[in-house]
């Protein structure tokens, strides 16, 4: 987020808050007639019996530098007499209003404008508690402060995701200053001390100073009852989510057994699951059962947080972790490593027989550990050799569908790494006999012709859900290139088909794919998949001297800086004699001189040197 965007959003929020604060309405009776005055940020109106008799419209908020407005109009009573109504309204710190009819004051009031950060807004905690009261669950994940966070430059994120994107670290002394303000609030709970704390909390994401706050809080000499009183005040008056999180954390630093049920309710909204589980674990007794129930009730980032807090102290919990722990609606397999460790996957698989349920759960965990690109997670797992050996052993009994055999092909790919990599694995979490057992088990299962038969059937069926079949075809080195191009005719943006063709490493297939890309007349208004397809092909072309030059040139001439970057990288990998000609030199020179991206300019200059 750029400073400009952040400033723009902050100014928008300040303007909206001010508009709500000055929005006031009065209704006055005069001889049976209703006089209404409505004051808004950019407009004041006077009505008599529903008819506008006077109004004033401001062109901008800066017109309030002239703080008072006067409005006058006339109305007629039933006796036929005309009356003149006069209203003077305005003020910078206090909103003063004087209403006269025929020169006589009939109403006068002065209202202090406090501009409190929680005023004129819906409080978050009562909003969530009402949902639970009515529906026994969270049915709407929107929060009342969404309007302050979401705009054209800041899309709405899945609840809890924003905290995953923040690393710890705030400006020096921020946390110490915040805690000082809160302790001043505890000692002297007034509107002003509460406002000071509240405003300070709003400045930063709580997750960015969470651990520092805990370290500093334990050093404070506190009156726990008074601390809880002010934490609860913040909780109940919070119209901003970070204030809710701060209040929950403070409660969790105390004995908050009396707040246990309330905190459990807040944990059901996944924006607050993490801090609520901290409070339950740190501030209440026998919390693990509560954490488990919450883990089974949430399905996104909250479930991922719950897995981190859950203690696997019973076999029932361990089995649940192994069979259900990696499933969520935001990023499946994200918790694979911690599920393997907490569920004691190595021990569970060492049984001579296991249930189908456990086999399926273990497969999902292994998929997550293998990852889509690298094997970093599984190489960090202490028992990876034992687990893969025992999983492939049980696969001889339980492998009954392509979805299971697909996992074996992923394991086989992992096993095919070079000997240098394996020497590193032997030094940490593998033994040679485990490696040999895994390879032999997969080869034994792979001998069954049913896998090729089922793969061929799916690929020729027109079923678009054929990702696993494509991977299995690659495992058996089946020649399906012609079939893939036929499929692309009907589904040209299918990323799996493009990647499968690239994976063949066949020059003729790559050349045909480059020709297929001529379907793009321009590189404007591309989908996310189309964007990735183009970049993937550019990367692949680096291995094929002189192939796809017209496609590379088109990418260089596009306005997309990422296309330019990967095209330049591709040329860097090739012999300059392949592209050393005027049309290429011209476009590379333009990038070197005019690209907004420093890295692109440098790459272009390197190519020209």
Dihedral sign for Cα atoms in the order 28, 30, 33, 37: negative
CA angle, residues 257, 262, 265, in degrees to nearest 5? 130
**For residue 308, is pLDDT > 80?**
yes
Q: List, for residues 586-601, the tens digit of each pLDDT value.
A: 999 999 999 999 999 9
314-331 mean pLDDT = 95
* pLDDT score recorded for residue 65: 44
Asked if 358 and 393 count as a contact pair (C-beta separation under 8 A), the reply is no
Asked if residue 478 lies in contact with residue 460, where contact means CB atoms within 8 angstroms, the answer is no
Task: Check pLDDT > 50 for residue 103.
Answer: yes
| Selection from 78-82, 93-97, 530-534 with the highest mean pLDDT | 530-534
Decide if 56 contacts 44 (C-beta within 8 A).
yes
Mean of pLDDT values over 366-380: 81
Confidence band (pLDDT; 50, 70, 90) for 88? very high
**Percentage of the residues of the chain whose pLDDT score is greater than 90:** 76
Burial of 434 (0-12, 13-18, 19+ CB in 10 A): buried
* pLDDT given for residue 339 in this prediction: 96
Percent residues over pLDDT 70 in the chain: 96
Q: Which residues contact residue 460 at a Cβ distance below 8 angstroms, ignoring those fewer than 6 apart?
A: 483
**For the residues 30-54, what does the mean pLDDT come to?**
91
Q: What is the pLDDT of residues 488-513, one digit of tens each?
A: 998 999 999 999 999 999 999 999 99
The pLDDT score that the predictor gives to residue 215 is 95
Q: What is the pLDDT of residues 204-221, one digit of tens each?
A: 999 999 999 999 999 999
pLDDT tens column, 404-413: 999 999 999 9
pLDDT tier, 22 (very low <50, low <70, confident <90, very high otherwise): confident
For residue 539, the model assigns a pLDDT of 94
Q: How far apart are CA 304 and CA 164, in angstroms?
A: 11
- Please, are residues 293 and 302 in contact by the beta-carbon 8 Å criterion? no
Residue 62 carries which DSSP code?
Answer: G
Which pTM does this prediction carry? 0.81
Q: What is the pLDDT of residues 60-77, one digit of tens each?
A: 655 554 568 899 999 998
What pLDDT score was predicted for residue 3? 60
Cβ pair 306, 335 in contact under 8 A: no
User: For position 61, what pLDDT does the model report?
Assistant: 59
Q: How far is Cα 430 from Cα 414, in angstroms, rounded to an integer?
A: 13
What is the distance of C-alpha 249 from the center of its chain? 21
Going by pLDDT thresholds of 50, 70 and 90, the confidence category of residue 12 is confident
């Amino acid at each position: 987020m750029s400073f400009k965007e952040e400033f723009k959003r902050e100014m928008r929020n300040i303007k909206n808050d001010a508009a709500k604060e000055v929005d006031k309405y009065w209704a006055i009776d005069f001889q049976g007639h209703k006089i209404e005055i409505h004051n808004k940020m950019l407009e004041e109106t006077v009505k008599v019996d529903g008819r506008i008799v006077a109004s004033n419209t401001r062109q901008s908020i800066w017109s309030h530098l002239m703080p008072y407005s006067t409005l006058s109009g006339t109305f007629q009573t039933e006796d036929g007499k005309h009356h003149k109504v006069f209203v003077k309204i305005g003020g910078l710190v206090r909103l003063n209003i004087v209403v006269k009819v025929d020169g006589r004051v009939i109403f006068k009031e002065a209202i202090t404008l406090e501009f409190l950060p929680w005023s004129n807004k819906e409080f978050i905690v009562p909003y969530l508690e009402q949902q639970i009261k009515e529906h026994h669950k969270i049915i709407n994940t929107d929060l009342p402060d969404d309007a302050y966070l979401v705009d054209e430059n800041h899309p709405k994120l899945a609840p809890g995701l924003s905290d995953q994107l923040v690393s710890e670290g705030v400006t020096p002394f921020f946390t110490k200053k915040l805690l000082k303000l809160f302790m001043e609030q505890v000692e002297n709970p007034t509107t002003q001390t509460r406002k000071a704390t509240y405003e300070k909390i709003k400045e930063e994401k709580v997750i960015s100073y969470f651990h520092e706050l805990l370290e500093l809080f334990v050093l404070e000499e506190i009156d726990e009852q008074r601390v809880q009183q002010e934490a609860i005040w913040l909780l109940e008056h919070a119209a901003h989510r970070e204030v809710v999180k701060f209040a929950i954390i403070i409660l969790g630093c105390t004995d908050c057994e009396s707040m246990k049920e309330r905190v459990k309710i807040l944990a059901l909204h996944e924006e607050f699951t993490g801090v609520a589980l901290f409070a339950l674990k740190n501030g209440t007794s026998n919390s693990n059962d509560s954490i488990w129930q919450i883990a089974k009730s949430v399905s996104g980032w909250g479930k991922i947080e719950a897995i981190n807090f859950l203690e696997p102290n019973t076999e029932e919990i361990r089995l649940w972790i192994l069979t259900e722990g990696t499933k969520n609606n935001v990023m499946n397999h994200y918790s694979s490593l911690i599920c393997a460790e907490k569920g004691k996957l190595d021990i569970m698989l060492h049984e001579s027989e296991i249930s189908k349920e456990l086999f399926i759960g273990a497969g999902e965990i292994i998929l997550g550990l293998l990852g889509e690109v690298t094997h970093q997670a599984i190489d960090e797992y202490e028992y990876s050799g034992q687990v893969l050996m025992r999983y492939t052993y049980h696969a001889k009994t339980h492998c009954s569908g392509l979805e299971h055999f697909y996992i074996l092909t992923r394991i086989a790919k992992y096993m095919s790494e070079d000997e240098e990599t394996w020497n590193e694995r032997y030094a940490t979490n593998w033994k040679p006999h485990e490696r040999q057992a895994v390879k032999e088990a997969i080869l034994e299962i792979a001998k069954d012709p049913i896998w090729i038969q089922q793969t061929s059937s799916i690929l020729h069926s027109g079923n678009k859900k054929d990702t696993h079949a494509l991977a299995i075809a690659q495992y058996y080195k089946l020649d399906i290139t012609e079939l893939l191009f036929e499929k692309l005719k009907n589904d040209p943006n299918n990323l799996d088909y493009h990647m499968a063709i690239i994976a063949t490493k066949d020059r003729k297939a790559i050349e045909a794919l480059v020709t297929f890309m001529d379907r793009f007349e321009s590189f404007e208004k591309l989908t996310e998949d189309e964007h990735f397809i183009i970049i993937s092909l550019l990367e692949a072309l680096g291995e094929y001297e002189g192939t796809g030059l017209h496609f590379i040139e088109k990418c260089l001439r596009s306005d997309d800086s990422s296309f330019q970057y990967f095209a330049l990288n591709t040329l860097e990998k090739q012999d300059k004699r392949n592209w050393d000609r005027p049309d290429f030199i011209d476009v590379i020179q333009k990038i070197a001189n005019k690209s907004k991206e420093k890295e692109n300019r440098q790459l272009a200059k390197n190519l020209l040197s």
